[in-house]
Amino acid sequence: MLSLLLAACGGGDVGDDNRPTATAADIEGIKAATARAGTYTEAPASIGITQPVGKPIPHGKRIVMVGAGPGGIGTIIAQEAMTEAVEELGWELKFIQPADSTPELLRQALDQAIQLEPDAVVISATSTDPIVEQLSELKAKGIPVVSNNGPDPSGGLITIQISGLDALSELAVAIADKTLADMGEPGTIGVVELPEYWIVHEYTEAYKEEIKARCPSCEIIEAKIPISSLSTTAGADMTHFSRANPDMKALFVSYDAMGANLFSAAQAEGARLPRTYSLATAPTSIPALASGGLSASAPLDQGEMGWRMTDALARIFTQQTESALEHDVKYTRPVIWSRSLNNVPTAPAGNSFPKLVRDYPAQYKKLWGK
């Protein structure tokens, strides 16, 4: 069931039309956000890694990747891309997908991975807290663990965290800047969160902090959507949230896959949504971006994540973990897609994702001596 939390942020005076009066801090902050939003339009040309592995990469490695549940669309995209990447190195990738994102099922999946005695394990979008026992066993066995899109830093039970909280927070700040740039004045912003994924909660905080810092008079109201509603009632729940708060000038969907049926649900109810924004764009959302229904989204190239994790493992397997930490741990290249920026890509076929760095497979292969 949809849980609504109201949180007033800021304290600008309210005019006769129930809109806050912009203060000097609001005006300067929104001006700065608008300038920053204009810097997020171009995709990078480089993966950002230039140092080759430089040593013979061993063949025959067996990797087990544990998914984040069916709702983790990005994990599925990364797995499909990583399957292609490991083939270049003569490795094998096995994918274990929990039936749901519950801690119990995740632990069971990791137990299964451990029984397979792989050379490395890959996890995604999960914190270490519920799986400490399994991660400790992997560490004791000398099996490296590469994580991506997780809240925990590299080190300890996680060998390397790729595209962690710092990187995802950069994307959240970028989409917050775009939100304020489009609003152009203080107003109410709805924020929809997916509490089962702690990393989503953490970078959503970064979004809210950027809004508060740039627009003290803006008000934030929040809704929490259970992951079980992703393919069922999430769209209707968010539509009801919008209708219950008709003064909202913007709506931030913190995990884009939550909005898969948002626009159809709104249309079915004859509801008018405010400008809508998201993070971690799903392939199915690209048509909504192209039409302008989805005002803007901050994409994360999960396909490249599959290749980036493979590169990290190539360095780990050649006793260059420090090199992997230096080159692979960061993924901080914010890009915003929006019809207003005229940079929405063509929707790809199937579940593939448009390449932000257009030739990234070739760039990785070069690093591997291929």
Question: What is the DSSP annotation of 191-241?
Answer: EEE-TTSHHHHHHHHHHHHHHHHH-TT-EEEEEE--GGGTTTTHHHHHHHH
pLDDT computed for residue 331 by the predictor: 63
Q: How sure is the predictor about 115, in pLDDT bands with cuts at 50, 70 and 90?
A: very high
pLDDT computed for residue 312 by the predictor: 95
Count of CA atoms in the C-beta half-sphere (13 A) of 136: 5
Query: What are the residue ranges of CATH 3.40.50.2300 in the chain?
Result: 3-37+167-298, 62-163+302-330
CA 278 to chain centre: 9
Q: How sure is the predictor about 17, in pLDDT bands with cuts at 50, 70 and 90?
A: low
Q: 44 — phi, psi (to 5°)?
A: -70, 155
More confident call, 225 vs 4? 225
Stretch 60-67: mean pLDDT: 97
CA distance 38 to 179: 12
H runs (alpha helix) in the chain: 24-37, 73-88, 103-115, 132-140, 165-183, 198-214, 234-244, 262-268, 286-291, 302-317, 321-328, 360-367
pLDDT computed for residue 324 by the predictor: 84
**pLDDT, tens digit (0-9, with 9 covering 90-100), for 349-358:** 776 889 999 9
pLDDT computed for residue 21 by the predictor: 86
Q: How far apart are the first and last CA of the chain?
A: 51
pLDDT computed for residue 11 by the predictor: 38
Q: List the structure tokens of 183.
A: 């609003």
Stretch 189-218: mean pLDDT: 95
Mean pLDDT is lowest, of 48-52, 103-107, 193-197, for: 193-197
205, pLDDT greater than 80: yes
Q: List the structure tokens of 218.
A: 């803006």
CA distance 343 to 42: 8
12, pLDDT greater than 50: no
Using CA atoms, how far residue 175 sits from 296, 322, 337, 341, in Å, is 7, 32, 10, 13
Using CA atoms, how far residue 319 sits from 58, 308, 314, in Å, is 11, 17, 9
Q: What is the mean pLDDT of the chain?
A: 90
Q: How sure is the predictor about 69, in pLDDT bands with cuts at 50, 70 and 90?
A: confident
Stretch 74-85: mean pLDDT: 93
* CATH superfamily entry for domain 62-163+302-330: Response regulator (3.40.50.2300)
CA distance 324 to 86: 16
> Cβ atoms within 10 A of the Cβ of 291, count?
11
pLDDT computed for residue 95 by the predictor: 97
CA distance 103 to 295: 34
Stretch 257-264: mean pLDDT: 88
**pLDDT, tens digit (0-9, with 9 covering 90-100), for 166-176:** 899 999 999 99
Q: How sure is the predictor about 330, in pLDDT bands with cuts at 50, 70 and 90?
A: low
**pLDDT, tens digit (0-9, with 9 covering 90-100), for 278-328:** 999 999 899 999 999 999 999 999 999 999 999 999 999 999 998 888 765
For CA atoms 192, 198, 199, 202, give the dihedral sign.
Answer: positive
Q: How sure is the predictor about 109, in pLDDT bands with cuts at 50, 70 and 90?
A: very high
In sequence order, what are the beta bridge partners of 95?
A: 65
160, pLDDT greater than 80: yes
72, pLDDT greater than 90: no
Stretch 13-20: mean pLDDT: 52
pLDDT computed for residue 70 by the predictor: 77
pLDDT computed for residue 3 by the predictor: 41
pLDDT computed for residue 8 by the predictor: 35
Specify the CATH number for 3-37+167-298; select among 3.40.50.2300, 3.60.15.10, 3.40.718.10, 1.10.3720.10: 3.40.50.2300
